[in-house]
Chain A
Amino acid sequence: MSKVTWVYPKSVDELTECLKNDTRPHGGGTGFMRNVPQSGSLADLSGVGIASVRVTDGSVRIGGAATFTAAASAIAAARPGHIVARALYDAASPALRNRITIGGSLALFPPWSSVVGPLVALDAELTIVGATTGTYPVSEYIGNRELGAETAITEIRADASREWESHWYRFAPTHFNYPLFTVVVLTELDGTSISDCRIVLTGNRGRFKRLEAVENEIRGTSQPAVEVTPADLGAGFPDRQGFSGEYLTHLAAVAITRGLRGAERNAT
């Protein structure tokens, strides 16, 4: 018999109270299922009122308990082809996307996460409540375990005022397999020259990396001339699931080059 207890907060204030008592937020539960808790308390976030998704000209605001399906459909309706919607629609299966939440995915950040790359590339921020309260860049939250301790993500905000060309690549042996890595490339063009760009890898050594040195080198380069090499990716990838790290690093460099050259791009 498991000793887990369940609580059902009905507001952010109630949730904040719950977090003081060894209570962990429960979003979709798909992460908990990999290692089912046997003690402590779980707070079901579905009644807290943090599952809405709002898209305006200036920003995308996603509630911490919004599911992949809810976020993807609201964003795609307002901004067809937006990279966050494309990445979310590509994740897992339709049934799992109806459960997996954005907040749970950022808190857990598995190596195959479909949401971290796009949000880091868009310089997204998130708001947490609990032992620490405030708004932080997503990249800081996922790199700093203390921010995740006894806190809950209530909202994620990404700027939507800039018109990026976007490229999303997810490498998985078959479509439904967990991806081994993801690549996000955002570019802004001035004719055929890249005036600005952002490049983010996930699943690599160090879990994620924004390739700022490469971005700086590429600004001002003509799009067809861009070439990113495996050496540009720093520590690269470890060996995973029958693929050598060298192969994965090479594949990621090709995916980034294709993204920068404008293959399969979309507007974000």
Chain B
Amino acid sequence: MNGTIIVNGAQIEIDFDPADTLLDVLRDNGHTEVKRGCSKGECGTCLVLLDDLLVNSCQVFAATALGKKVTTSSGLNGDGRPHVIHESFADAGAVQCGFCTPGMVMATHSLLTTTPDPTDEEIRLGLVGNLCRCTGYVKIFDAVKLACKRMRKDG
């Protein structure tokens, strides 16, 4: 099959198997910032925005994403520079091996878009689909709170 998707603002032509996932297509087209952890919807490393909605790209058939807008962690800022959420993860020490980080950043972005000042419980529920095998999550909570503070300050 073939068609187009718009990834981080750039329209790309894709050629794919009808059973391929959006994750397959993104990685095959150089978007390796979108990680493949479990391929089962259980780890959250593959999160992207599809027409502005957070989805697990391993759970989306590419055939259902044609003509749609995809935003990966690298495209959050629009200008290729780190987003304030990336900076908050680095500054809070929430990145060890970094494999979960793009997914964590996307889940945090989605959470703070709908809930700009989340409680601890709301952060827990917002990140419930994201696994981290390194940090123990405490620093990740700190990163989300730091991002929240910085985003409020920046308006």
Q: How far is the CB of B53 from chain A (nearest CB, A)?
A: 5
Give the complex CA separation of A155 and B35 in angstroms. 36
Give the complex CA separation of A30 and B56 in angstroms. 10
Among A1-9, A127-135, A227-235, A246-254, the stretch in contact with B = A1-9
Residue interface bits B90-107, CB-to-A below 8 A is 1, else 0: 000000000000000001
Restricting to B1-25, which residues have a CB under 8 Å from any CB of A?
1, 17-19, 21
Known contacts A2-B18, A98-B53; is-contact A33 B128 (Cβ 8 Å): no
Residue interface bits A27-54, CB-to-B below 8 A is 1, else 0: 0111011101110001010100000000
Q: How far is the CB of A93 from chain B (nearest CB, A)?
A: 2
Give the complex CA separation of A4 and B61 in angstroms. 12
What chain A residues lie within 8 Å of B77 (beta carbons)?
none
Give the complex CA separation of A116 and B59 in angstroms. 22
Interface size on B, residues (CB 8 A): 28
Are B61's CB and A29's CB within 8 A? yes
What chain A residues lie within 8 Å of B53 (beta carbons)?
69, 98
Known contacts A2-B19, A94-B107, A94-B111; is-contact A26 B61 (Cβ 8 Å): yes
Is residue A99 contacting chain B, with contact meaning CB distance below 8 A? yes
Q: How far is the CB of B4 from chain A (nearest CB, A)?
A: 15
Q: How far is the CB of B26 from chain A (nearest CB, A)?
A: 15
B18: contacting residue among A6, A34, A95, CB under 8 A: A6
Is residue A77 contacting chain B, with contact meaning CB distance below 8 A? no
Known contacts A93-B44, A95-B47; is-contact A176 B55 (Cβ 8 Å): no
Which DSSP category, helix, strand, loop or mixed, fits chain B's interface?
Answer: mixed
Is residue A20 contacting chain B, with contact meaning CB distance below 8 A? no
Is residue B75 contacting chain A, with contact meaning CB distance below 8 A? no
Is residue A189 contacting chain B, with contact meaning CB distance below 8 A? no
Are A96's CB and B59's CB within 8 A? yes
Known contacts A29-B59, A29-B64, A30-B59; is-contact A38 B19 (Cβ 8 Å): yes
A99: contacting residue among B55, B107, B111, B125, CB under 8 A: B55
Restricting to B136-155, which residues have a CB under 8 Å from any CB of A?
none
Give the complex CA separation of A29 and B54 in angstroms. 15
Are B64's CB and A94's CB within 8 A? no
Q: How far is the CB of B130 from chain A (nearest CB, A)?
A: 8
Q: How far is the CB of A43 from chain B (nearest CB, A)?
A: 11
Give the complex CA separation of A1 and B110 in angstroms. 35
Are B18's CB and A96's CB within 8 A? no
Interface residues of A (CB under 8 A from B): 1-6, 26, 28-30, 32-34, 36-38, 42, 44, 46, 69, 92-96, 98-99, 175-176
Query: Which 7 residue pairs are nearest across A and B when measured between Cβ atoms?
Result: A93-B129, A2-B19, A4-B18, A6-B63, A95-B54, A98-B53, A176-B128
Q: Known pairs A6-B18, A29-B60, A92-B41. 20 more at Cβ < 8 A?
A: A4-B18, A6-B1, A6-B61, A28-B59, A29-B61, A32-B61, A33-B21, A93-B130, A94-B110, A94-B125, A94-B126, A95-B44, A95-B54, A95-B107, A95-B129, A96-B59, A99-B59, A99-B60, A175-B125, A175-B128
| 19 contacting pairs across A/B (C-beta < 8 A) | A4-B19, A5-B18, A6-B18, A6-B61, A29-B64, A30-B59, A32-B61, A33-B21, A34-B40, A69-B53, A93-B44, A94-B107, A94-B110, A94-B111, A95-B44, A95-B47, A96-B56, A96-B59, A176-B42
